[in-house]
Amino acid sequence: MSDSAILVCDSSALQEGGKGVRFPVTAGGHDTTGFVVRYQGVARGYLNRCAHVPIELDWAEGEFFESSGLYLMCATHGALYAPESGHCLGGPCRGGRLRPIGVIEEDGRIFWRPDEFVKPLQA
């Protein structure tokens, strides 16, 4: 495990196609949130920002999937995203994609990795 990885939650907090976990980040110099969800057995992380308009996706805290649990959906405009890639599949996000955040699942816990754009929350 790299020293730069930051704990998000226990692995058991994520259920397939279920509620996600939000975590604080700074993206492009602005404080915001990222999130992790589980899809096809894999923890996946994204910046909590719709590709259509930069607003948070979840309609209630941690609720990122639409009712079938197959797609991530923006609560404001209904944009649909593929959970495995973040690519827009329908709605006003056409051609866009969610900004991925590197996620590692190890020893029953989920961590995220900062990069050049998404960094730990500024103090």
**3-state SS of the chain?**
CCCCCEEEEEHHHCCECCCCEEEEEEECCEEEEEEEEEECCEEEEEECCCCCCCCCCCCCCCCCECCCCCCEECCCCCCEECCCCCEEEECCCCCCECCEEEEEEECCEEEEECCCCEECCCC
Tokens of residue 56, six digits: 């948070």
Confidence at 54, pLDDT banded by 50, 70, 90: confident
- Can you give the pLDDT at residue 70? 94
Whether residue 12 has pLDDT greater than 80 = yes
**Averaged pLDDT for residues 66-74:** 93
Residue that is written with structure tokens 């329908």 in the block: 90
Work out the average pLDDT over 43-57. 92
Please state, in angstroms and rounded to a whole number, the distance separating the CA atoms of residues 52 and 37.
20
* pTM score of the predicted model: 0.93
**pLDDT grade, residue 52 (50/70/90)?**
confident
Q: Is residue 33 in a domain?
A: yes
pLDDT band, residue 8 (cuts 50/70/90): very high
One-letter amino acid of 80: L
pLDDT of 33 over the 60 cut: yes
Task: Please report whether residue 94 resides in a domain.
Answer: yes
| Domain harbouring 15, CATH code | 2.102.10.10
Q: What is the mean pLDDT of residues 17-27?
A: 95
pLDDT higher than threshold 70 for residue 109: yes
Domain around 36: 6-113
Number of domains in the chain: 1
Identify whether 44 is part of a domain.
yes
pLDDT at 123 > cutoff 80 = no
